[in-house]
Amino acid sequence: MTPAPFPAARLRRLRRTRALREMVQEHGLSARDLIWPVFIRDGENVEEPIASLPGVSRLSLDRMLKAAEQAHSLGIPAICLFPYTDQALRTETCEEAWNPDNLTNRAIRALKSELPDMMVMTDIALDPYNANGHDGFVVDGEIVNDQTVEALVKMGLAQAEAGADILGPSDMMDGRIGALRMALEAEGHSDVAILSYAAKFASGFYGPFRDAVGAGARLVGDKATYQINPANREEALACVARDLSEGADMVMVKPGMPYLDICRAVKDRFQCPTFAYQVSGEYAMLMAAAQNGWLDGDKVMLESLIAFKRAGCDGVLSYFAPRVAAALKG
C-alpha cells in the first residue's frame, strides 16, 4: 500500500484510540502460541530455585505435574522437559540418556497419564548425561558425529516409547533427523512429531540453562564445532532445508531475540511450522533489568513475544509462558 501524501494520509489517525489501534493490529499473541520449558529433578515436593533464572525452579515430578496442570488450565498447549540428572549418573558413555526409566521418561509417563491433552516435548542431546557437558560423545577431544547419532536415536526411541508427543533434537549433529525419523517409522512411532532445533547457534545466551541442568561447570571447551556460527545466515537456512528434507515436521530458531531475521527468512523461504526459543539468557536479562526497576517486566515480556509472531513464528518456547498466559487472561 502506498499512502497518499500528507495531509490526505495521516498515519496517526488510526493510532488515536485503543479501539482503533486494536482494529488494525496485524499480529496477536495467545497462550496457544507457547511451549513452556520446565526443569525437572528427582525427589519429592522439591522446588529448587535457579539463581541465574529468577522465578524458575527445578521441580520434582509431583510439583512439575501441579505446575503443568496450572499451565494447561491457562491454555498453554505444550510443555518441554529438561532434566537435572543426578551428578553420579553422568558418564562419558551417557547410558542414562536412553534408560527407559530415567527422569525424563518417568516424567513423560506421569504427564501423559495425568494430563493426556497436554503435549509433551522432550530434548534430545547428551549434555544432561555427559561427564563433560557436551551434546555428543567426546573421543580424543573431538565431538564425534555418527556414534552420537546412534545414541540420540536410542534416546529418542525411549522417549517415544514413554509417550512423548514431540521430540526436540537439540544436538546439531549431522544426519540425526533422518536417522531418528527412520527409526520411529520402523518401531511403530510414525505419529511422533519432530520439532528440530534446526538453526541453533553457538550462543553465549545459553549460560543460565547450563546452570539449570548442571552441565555448565562440566563443559570442556565450547560447542562451536557443532552449533552454527552466529555470523551465518545462509548456513542456518541450509540446516533448516536439510532437516525438513530428512523428516522434521517443525523447525526451530535458537536463540530467539537476536535471531529474528533468521525466523523471518525461515518462514518466507520454507513456509513450514516455525518456532523460536527465547532462551535462558534472554529471559535472564529481561528479568534482571526488571528486578532492578530498569524495565517494566510485563511490558517487555509481551513486547518480546509479539516480536516473534511479527517475525513469522507460529510459536515460541519461553520461560515466561505461564506468566504470559496469566497476563493475557487478566
211 binds ligand PBG (CB under 6 A): no
125 binds ligand PBG (CB under 6 A): yes
> In the annotation, is 200 catalytic?
yes
Contact segment (CB under 6 A) with ligand PBG among 120-128, 153-161, 236-244, 268-276 equals 120-128
The cell 533464572 sits on which residue? 53
Question: Which lies closer to ligand PBG via its Cβ, residue 180 or residue 185?
Answer: 180
Question: Which lies closer to ligand PBG via its Cβ, residue 18 or residue 319?
Answer: 319
52: three-class secondary structure by DSSP: coil
Query: In this chain, which of 96, 123, 211, 243 binds ligand PBG, going by CB under 6 A?
Result: 123
196 binds ligand PBG (CB under 6 A): no
Q: Residue 91 and residue 100: Cα distance in Å, rounded? A: 17
CA 84 remoteness from chain centre:
16
210 binds ligand PBG (CB under 6 A): yes
145: three-class secondary structure by DSSP: coil
> In the annotation, is 254 catalytic?
yes
Q: How far apart are CB 289 and ligand PBG at their closest, in Å? A: 18
Q: Residue 105 and residue 185: Cα distance in Å, rounded? A: 20
Question: Which lies closer to ligand PBG via its Cβ, residue 143 or residue 325?
Answer: 143
Q: Residue 297 and residue 60: Cα distance in Å, rounded? A: 27
Q: Residue 171 and residue 152: Cα distance in Å, rounded? A: 9
127 binds ligand PBG (CB under 6 A): yes
Report the first-to-last Cα separation within the chain, whole angstroms.
35
Question: Which lies closer to ligand PBG via its Cβ, residue 63 or residue 223?
Answer: 223
118 binds ligand PBG (CB under 6 A): no
195: three-class secondary structure by DSSP: strand
Q: How far apart are CB 159 and ligand PBG at their closest, in Å? A: 14
**Axis crossing angle, helix 321-329 with helix 297-310, rounded to the nearest 10:** 100
User: Dihedral of the CA atoms 81, 277, 206, 216 (nearest 10)?
Assistant: 10
Residues 68-107: x where in contact with ligand PBG by CB under 6 A, - otherwise, as a string: ----------------------------------------
Catalytic, out of 223, 254, 267, 309: 254
Among positions 213-272, residues that touch ligand PBG (CB under 6 A) are 223
Nine cell digits for residue 26:
496485524
Q: Residue 240 and residue 250: Cα distance in Å, rounded? A: 10
Binding site for ligand PBG (CB under 6 A): 123, 125, 127, 135, 170-171, 206, 209-210, 223, 279-280
